[in-house]
Amino acid sequence: MRKPILAGNWKMNKTPAEAVEFVRAIRPLIAKYPQVETVVCVPFVSLPAVADALAGVKVGVGAQNMHWAASGAYTGEVSAAMLKGLADYVIIGHSERRQYFGETDEGVNKKIKAALASGLVPILCVGEDLAQNEAGLTESWVSAQVRAAFADITAEQACGVVIAYEPIWAIGTGKTATSEVANRICGLVVRGTVAEIYGEEVAQQIRIQYGGSANEKNIAELMAMPDIDGALIGGASLKVESFVEMVRATAEQL
Ligand code: 13P
């Protein structure tokens, strides 16, 4: 069985001091649910303090981006080697990075390779925007994003990637894809594409999250779906009560 994975994507929120306060608060509460893999993806500057505050605790630490190069003249960027030791996970290709910072499928592929080579678990984000959704392009778009992201990646490596299906129209809008629709895209399209590339065995191993206005009210219904293995949570991951409740509700279903 695939272990459920709930990851908070804090985006550009919380100072390092606020980050430490938050993880100290969730630490004892989340420890009660070891059957759920939990991750907090925090801004770069908070990584050292958060990693320190969570040392020895089963709450994973993640970054929200990285560069594909090992080092060099890339002002403002951070490499996988720099993250190593501070983070275990890294979000790659979030729609906000693609939309506001010009990230391409090719760059996403390079970042996944670099993350895997450094032993970081990539959380690869894919998803369509509203216009694509309304034009009936969701399936072809999402499938093409998955294919591009996994170019030249071995089956063995692919098993270590987490994929987050995040429809852009559902991010931060309060609109969630219905659990049936989310499950259909996660299953038929994302897992289906992985199966086409690597075969059914890899497709059954790989974990697929849903993201987009996931919260404490809808998480149980989403997690009850057979092809949804977790969630990438924005707004609701910033509040201790909501995040812990989402972990609890997920654990309750196991
Ligand atoms: P919200 O949960 O705030 O909609 O954000 C989702 C997201 O983008 C997580 O990466």
Distance from residue 73's CA to the centre of ligand 1 (Å): 31
Query: Is the CB of residue 175 below 6 angstroms from any atom belonging to ligand 1?
Result: no
Distance from residue 135's CA to the centre of ligand 1 (Å): 23
Which residues of the chain have a pLDDT value below 70? none
Q: Whose CA is nearest to atom 5 of ligand 1?
A: 234
**Catalytic (active site) residue 67:** no
| pLDDT digits 0-9 by tens, 172-202 | 998 888 999 999 999 999 999 999 999 999 9
pLDDT computed for residue 169 by the predictor: 95
φ, ψ dihedrals at 218, nearest 5°: -105, -5
pLDDT computed for residue 18 by the predictor: 98
Distance from residue 244's CA to the centre of ligand 1 (Å): 16
Which atom belonging to ligand 1 lies closest to the Cα atom of 236?
A: 2
What is the set of domains in the chain, with CATH numbers?
Answer: 5-252 (3.20.20.70)
C-alpha span between 65 and 41 (Å, rounded): 9
Q: Whose CA is nearest to atom 2 of ligand 1?
A: 234
Query: Is the CB of residue 234 below 6 angstroms from any atom belonging to ligand 1?
Result: yes
pLDDT computed for residue 205 by the predictor: 98
C-alpha span between 253 and 136 (Å, rounded): 33
**Catalytic (active site) residue 94:** yes
Q: Active-site residue among 67, 94, 128, 245?
A: 94
pLDDT computed for residue 1 by the predictor: 84
| pLDDT digits 0-9 by tens, 101-131 | 999 999 999 999 999 999 999 999 999 999 9
